[in-house]
Structure 1
Amino acid sequence: MKKYGFGVDIGGTTCKIGLFETTGDLAEKWEIPTDTSEEGKNILSDIAASLRGKMAERNIGKDEVEGIGIGLPGPVQPDGSVLLCVNLGWKEKNIPKEMGDLMDGIQVKAENDANVAALGEMWQGGGKGCKSIVMVTLGTGVGGGIIVDGKIVSGAHGAGGEIGHITVNPHESVPCNCGRKGCLEQYCSATGIARLAQEALAQDHEVSVLDKAAGISAKTVFDAYKEQDKLAGQIVEKFARILGKGLSNIACVADPEVFVIGGGVSKAGEVLIQAVNQYYREAAFPSCVHTRFALASLGNDAGMYGCVKLVLE
């Protein structure tokens, strides 16, 4: 008899849902809207209705479902509960209990969305074959997830893996979104790279293809870098130096087998990996200097994969 698991990655706009065989094969995926009205009171019941509908459609019995894993956009307590989930409108909520009750006692586990994405990449993605990885997500912000010996490092306050908010510049005057100053996210996110570019363009420089760009983004910077544009090279060098040195500090604590780089910025590809790896090696503790770098490979599905892996532990 086949066994299945559901992975549910809850975002502020949509819930990404995957039906998986316990081998790690994705059987089907779909999305439903995230109803954040009335403090998100309908979110879990909407998901439960969708899961029950899929089980009926595919004639899957309750005893064939190993469990339901749920990824959440915010800190998650060790028991899977949340104290506050701003994007969903939730305050104190015990996700495993409420969802378990809605699904007639099927096992439910919940974790932070970045952490489950890391778990998914370790299981079936860029970190496949490894047991200890650090996932770095370079998007609008900088997120992360730390897996050591196959286990998520969430920390005492659910903030394990918040690598975007390590301080890399104590002299920064502009505040980060978190309220502090000089965070990694301010330089290495998509918005951070665009900011570095705007600063570079405001200074004296040789003529650059970026001068004629319709808009400045991380993509335009890396596209220019691939064309060997000098100014883009300086911007990417600064980005890579900051991120490489930052990750060298993380390696001293987590000592991963591999850094898996994901998020929209990672679409720049191997040139990004090579640039960051260069500065990482220059700064790394000798025992960690050969830590491998890899691109994430599961894209937006990583969270669903990780959610299923949660319930198979």
Structure 2
Amino acid sequence: MTWDTGVGAVAIDIGGTKVDLALVDASGEMLERRRLDTRAADGPEQAVERIARVVRELRAAAAAVDLEVGAHAVVSPGVVQDGRVLLVPTMPGWDRVPLGAVLGEALDVPPIAVWNDVHAAALAEARSGSLVGADPGIYVNLGTGLSSALVVGGDVVRGAHRAAGEIGYLVPGDSATTPLGTAPLEDVVGGGPMARRISALVGVEADAATIFASDDPVVGSLVQHAVAVLATAVANLSTFADPAVVAIGGGMAAAVPTILPVVDAEVRRRVPFPPAVRLAHHVRDASLHGAVALALDELARHRLAEPARQG
């Protein structure tokens, strides 16, 4: 690939098992991608060190072709407040880590912009995916967990505490019997919890994709219930927000094509003015594309601020 000279950015998508990084030019074209294991159980320090090493390699590669890296951005699971990651039970030791600051320090740059990965995925869908022009639009991420984001006027509504869209905490049934401090809807619908629950019931360990493909009638009944609960939740969100489009993404949505028609049918049945229900465009690497969009926003912000600093 021929790299244009000019400016670019580095986007970082930190997940529970892997970290994806991309060097992009000012148009957002990915010039080089890297991947490494998160090793989340080993703590954030080692991950930050290895991520910084790869970012330095990408910056060196960019410099070799006269491309200046003018911005960085990172996305992560959990609620992100002021660059600090909260509510990440799947990554022990990461809670309250000031990710933007520690990555910035490791790279000798100011604190790096950090967003929640699903908010970032929604931004990608609004810029170059299934939510382009949708005002408002809803993005639902169905993977190991469950989360969503609302897009209004092309911008992601992040909320007063940056926790907007954490629908896994919604209560799908009787609130009096639901334990506090849990994520009740995610426990029913999220791929990870659902796989663990069904595996325990049937006595066979399997992941979500295997469970959805099972011809066991007991498993099939449990899966149908989970999808029905998801469909009702999406219908309720649609009634509240009146979106033009609902885009459903995440690894489980990609692996299980039968989910989409069930959700669409329930939305049409329940919602007074039903939105279009679509598969997300960036269905497998939406968070990385979101990190790219965020990095480009940071690049534009830095370039706008440059004349003011020079003045």
- Which range, TM-score by smaller chain? 0.7 to 0.9
Paired with 1:112 and 1:305, the residues of 2 have a C-alpha distance of: 13
Correspondence for 1:301: 285
Correspondence for 1:20: 24
Correspondence for 2:245: 258
The one-letter amino acid paired with 1:265 is: M
Correspondence for 1:246: 233
Residue pairs, 1:114-263, within 5 angstroms: 114-130=118-134, 132-170=136-174, 179-180=181-182, 183-191=184-192, 194=195, 218-220=208-210, 222-223=212-213, 235=222, 237-263=224-250
Paired with 2:48 and 2:86, the residues of 1 have a C-alpha distance of: 16
**Number of matched residues?**
292
Deviation at 1:107, TM superposition (A): 7.4
Correspondence for 1:113: 117
Correspondence for 2:304: none
Paired with 2:9 and 2:214, the residues of 1 have a C-alpha distance of: 43
Q: Residue 261 of structure 2: SS of its match in structure 1?
A: helix
Alignment root-mean-square deviation, CA = 3.6
Deviation at 1:25, TM superposition (A): 2.0
1:138-176 Cα offsets, whole Å, 9 max, x none, are 22321223332222222222321111221111168575x
Structure 1 residues 217 and 132, CA gap change in structure 2 (3 angstroms):
same
Correspondence for 1:278: 265
Asked whether the 8 Å contact 2:62–2:69 carries over to 1, the reply is no
Correspondence for 2:12: 8
Relative to the length of structure 1, the TM-score reads 0.76
Paired with 1:195 and 1:33, the residues of 2 have a C-alpha distance of: 23
Paired with 1:2 and 1:131, the residues of 2 have a C-alpha distance of: 33
Paired with 2:118 and 2:99, the residues of 1 have a C-alpha distance of: 17
Which sections of structure 2, spanning at least 5 residues, go unmatched?
A: 298-311
Deviation at 1:26, TM superposition (A): 1.8
Q: Residue 236 of structure 2: SS of its match in structure 1?
A: helix
Paired with 2:41 and 2:206, the residues of 1 have a C-alpha distance of: 35
Paired with 2:105 and 2:193, the residues of 1 have a C-alpha distance of: 43
Paired with 1:82 and 1:198, the residues of 2 have a C-alpha distance of: 31
The one-letter amino acid paired with 1:5 is: A
Structure 1 residues 238 and 172, CA gap change in structure 2 (3 angstroms):
farther
Correspondence for 1:46: 50
Paired with 1:40 and 1:218, the residues of 2 have a C-alpha distance of: 27
Between stretches 27-36 and 14-23, larger displacement belongs to 27-36
Structure 1 residues 169 and 196, CA gap change in structure 2 (3 angstroms):
farther
Paired with 1:268 and 1:101, the residues of 2 have a C-alpha distance of: 39
Deviation at 1:76, TM superposition (A): 0.8
Paired with 2:213 and 2:115, the residues of 1 have a C-alpha distance of: 35
1:96 and 2:80 matched: no
Paired with 1:174 and 1:109, the residues of 2 have a C-alpha distance of: 36
Asked whether the 8 Å contact 1:187–1:195 carries over to 2, the reply is no
Paired with 1:67 and 1:94, the residues of 2 have a C-alpha distance of: 18
The one-letter amino acid paired with 2:225 is: K
Paired with 2:68 and 2:136, the residues of 1 have a C-alpha distance of: 30
1:251-301 Cα offsets, whole Å, 9 max, x none, are 2443333222222321345432111111122221x23x1x11122343442
2:69 corresponds, among 65, 70, 75, to 65
The one-letter amino acid paired with 1:70 is: V
